[in-house]
Amino acid sequence: MYTFSSKLKTFAFVLMVLGALGVGYSFFTAPKTLDDAKAIIEAEHAHGHGAEAHGDAHHDDAHHAEAAHDAHAEHAETVVVEKTEAEVAATAHDSVGAAEIKAETDTVHATATAEAGHEGHDHDAHAEAAHAGHDAHAGHEAHAAHDADHHAEHVFHQLQNKPWAAVYVAALFFFLISLGVLAFYAIQNAAQAGWSPVLFRVMEGITGYLVWGAAIVLALLVAGVLQIHHIFIWMDPEVVAHDHLIQGKTGFLNGPFFLIRAVVFMGGWIFYRYYSRKLSLAQDEATDNLSYKKAFKAAAAFLVFFIVTESISSWDWIMSVDPHWYSTLFGWYVFASFFVSGITTIALITLYLKSRGYLEYVNTSHIHDLAKFMFGISVFWTYLWFSQFMLMWYADIPEEVTYFKMRIENYNLPFFGMVALNFVFPVLILINTDFKRLSWIVTLAGIIILTGHYIDFYNMIMPATVGDQWFIGAGEIGAVLFFLGLFIFVVFTTLTKQPLLAKRNPLIEESKHFHY
Amino acid sequence: MSNKVLHVLYNDDDILMDAVKKTRAAHHHIEEVFTPFPVHGLDKAMGLAPTRLAICAFIYGLVGLSVATSMMYYIMIVDWPQDIGGKPSFAYYMNMPAFVPVMFEMTVFFAAHLMVITFYMRSRLWPFKQAENPDVRTTDDHFLMEVPVHGDENELVSFFQQTGAVEVKVIEKH
């Protein structure tokens, strides 16, 4: 039996308290009124204002098209920029023209942005975004006069979203880690893997967080539907009333159906977790293999249920923050991201328990296998990430590509940094067979992978909710610390409940002597 | 001096493994072992050095990546930077996603093929090569261990007969 070390318990509580303080601070400092937001915008303009291409902020995009145009007129450009300019003129002639007309109505903003010094090729993006926005919303000239107020209101909403989005990203990340472990557990059961049964109790311990994580994420989704926060803009009837694209999706994207789906999906996953754990414990005491056979069938059925619900839940909880954008391989992409995080978490917790002397039969071959999975699924994640990115980049269809334009311009370091963290480092570190057996190497790679995939989820949620107002500050770090503390507390408490070695699993002897 | 070797034949891989361990413990040099299929752990029991083929493959992969990158850079960016469907060919990084499939495939191609060729060269395999099979049964169901004779030949033969051999032959090698 595992006993929860008091040091680790204290550590978990400290994380939770620090995290709660950070989250509380970020809620406290978020602007309460429009005037607060205006003051923040003023302060930012003094420092130079970044580019902005938010999906629903079509009037802003028009500003930047004109701003970049002005910048081009005022500053001497390089040869490269001249070429881009010619290209832009061909593709986005009328939108730039439209932007020019409006330049007279809003010169203050234009000069402020022009001072920020846009690159020539950025011009392309803004002009295109403006073009798309112009087409989709023919009546938006009417807004031009109120643009400054609109912009302030827009930033106000983004700043108000910030602490909520930080909590949501962290809550989702840790919840999905335990879901990834559950999927891995089901795969090991259904595949009748001979190496992993000595790790089953560790996996069951990690999935103990599933019910907590689900409850918190569900609470956040309910809060969204109740208009307590505005992470999901399609939940706002005001927005939907003026948005034909969202109106067309209300058959799927509506509050009640959204919550029913969430409850059914989470309920199904929690039920499998509860049932498989029960069977796993029953098998310990049994005299036959009936429980094992039931667990095998349950795992197979769960995997079918999981792959459907995981895909839909990723549209619901992640893709719907950008309700104008869609991607067909998004469900797989999200799955790969939390699946590799889950496997990494198994490896890290196994190494911790092993180092404390709790896992007698776990040897370097088990670690080696986990590290191979970390390596392989990291590459798989990169494959999906690149496939999604490259297909949209290549075709360059405005309604798709704004998603990536937005991220590359405003989230450049997180967007490309995570590719280094999730692909380059794991591949270079974990390609070596001897390295995959070293605890400290696997721990190092694991921390890099988990950081990278947190940033991956950050990149999925933040651009749609806070736009260019992002920052990894007290709220974001606090939320991660809080959920990390909760995760550690729940997981290690679950681990104390049962022995760390399954007794009568038919494959346990093979697993004990597993050697690669 | 005559160049005598022992050909010791076994008909079971477990007995062979035991025999190899005993031979090593008795400090007899094993010249070669012929088996009809890979015997798991035989290389460790014989004390052979681990292969460095994977390291070669990694380096070949890097070579492939460099070839692909420099080729595409020269052709698409330096030599004739045409506007093809609006793709930005001003700098390599701007159009890089379009080159990644080629970079990936070339990396795999170089790593795989050069590694296989390295394997053939290091293990001296090529078409029309004279087979070096001491006993045709070793390709079917027998295992053969070749040990050079030093010192007392009779003592050596009786040692190997005790290791479970089905046949021990003394061969004059040229």
* Phi, psi for A10 (deg, rounded to 5): -60, -40
DSSP string, A207-243: HTTHHHHHHHHHHHHHHHHTTSS-SSGGG-HHHHHT-
Q: Is residue B65 less than 8 Å (CB to CB) from chain A? A: no
> Does A396 contact B86 at a Cβ distance shorter than 8 Å?
yes
> How far is the alpha carbon of A307 from chain B, nearest alpha carbon, in Å?
28
**Burial (CB count within 10 angstroms: exposed 0-12, middle 13-18, buried 19+), residue A376:** middle
Q: Taking the C-alpha atoms of A408, A409, A411 and A413 in order, what is their torsion angle to the nearest 10 degrees?
A: 70
Instruction: Give the minimum alpha-carbon distance from A200 to chain B in angstroms, rounded to a whole number.
Output: 28
Partner-chain contact A393 B97, CB within 8 Å: yes
pLDDT per residue of chain A (516 residues) written in tens, 0 to 9:
889 999 999 999 999 999 999 999 999 988 888 877 777 777 776 665 444 444 444 444 444 444 444 444 444 444 444 444 444 444 444 444 444 444 444 444 443 344 444 444 444 444 444 444 444 444 444 445 466 777 888 888 888 889 999 999 999 999 999 999 999 999 999 999 999 999 999 999 999 999 999 999 999 999 999 999 999 999 999 889 999 999 999 999 999 999 999 999 999 999 999 999 999 999 999 999 999 999 999 999 999 999 999 999 999 999 999 999 999 999 999 999 999 999 999 999 999 999 999 999 999 999 999 999 999 999 999 999 999 999 999 999 998 999 999 999 999 999 999 999 999 999 999 999 999 999 999 999 999 999 999 999 999 999 999 988 899 989 999 999 999 999 999 999 999 999 999 988 999 999 999 988
Q: Write the pLDDT tens digit of every residue in B105-129.
A: 999 999 999 999 999 999 999 999 9
DSSP class of residue B142 equals: -
What residue segments make up the domains of chain B, in order of their start?
Answer: 4-36+141-172, 52-123
Cβ within 8 Å, pair A389-B97: yes
Residues of A in contact with B51 (CB under 8 A): none
Q: B33 pairs with which residues across the strands?
A: B145
Residue pairs between chains A and B whose CB atoms are closer than 8 Å: 22
A189 near A508, Cβ under 8 Å?
Answer: no
Please tell me which residue of chain B has the smallest CA distance to A90: B86
How does pLDDT run across A238-287, given as a tens digit for each residue?
Answer: 889 999 999 999 999 999 999 999 999 999 999 999 999 999 999 999 99
Q: B149 CA to chain A: closest CA distance, Å?
A: 36
ipTM value for the complex:
0.91
Q: Cβ contacts (< 8 Å) between B86 and chain A: which residues? A: 87, 91, 396
d(CA B100, CA A387): 10
Nearest residue on chain A to B94, alpha-carbon basis: A121
Closest CA in chain A for residue B40 = A516
Of chain B residues 77-96, which have a CB less than 8 A from chain A? Answer: 83, 86, 88, 90-91, 94
- Cα–Cα distance list, B79 to B72, B74, B75 (Å): 10, 6, 5
pTM for the whole structure: 0.83
Q: Which residues pair with B148 in a beta bridge?
A: B5
Q: Which residues of A touch B77 (CB under 8 A)?
A: none
**DSSP-derived secondary structure for A8-69:** HHHHHHHHHHHHHHHHHHHHHHS--SHHHHHHHHHHHHHH-------TT-HHHHHHHHHHHH
Using one digit for the tens of pLDDT, what is the confidence trace for A28-62?
988 888 877 777 777 776 665 444 444 444 444 44
Q: Which among B83, B88, B97 has CB closest to A390? A: B97
Q: Check CB contact of A394 with chain B, cutoff 8 Å.
A: yes
**In this complex, which of A84, A394, A431 lies closest to B97 when CB atoms are compared?**
A394
Please, which residues 110-169 of chain B have a Cβ atom closer than 8 Å to chain A?
none
**CATH homologous superfamily for B4-36+141-172?**
ACT domain (3.30.70.260)
Among B86, B90, B100, select the one facing A390 at the smallest CB separation.
B100
Q: Which helix (H) or strand (E) holds A280?
A: helix A255-285
Determine the distance in angstroms separating the CA of A382 from the nearest CA of chain B, rounded to an integer: 12
Distance CA(B69)–CA(B83), nearest Å, equals 19
Integer CA distances (angstroms), B52 to B10, B34, B63, B122, in order = 30, 22, 17, 11
Interface of B with A in 13-52 (CB under 8 A): none
Mean pLDDT of chain A: 84
Chain B interface disruption, residue of A81, A88, A390, most B CBs within 10 A: A390
Estimate to the nearest angstrom the gap between the alpha carbon of A378 and the chain centroid: 15
Q: Domain ranges for chain A, please list them.
A: 6-33+160-513
Residue B94 with chain A: CB contacts under 8 Å: 121
DSSP annotation of A360? T
Chain B residue with the nearest C-alpha to that of A387: B97
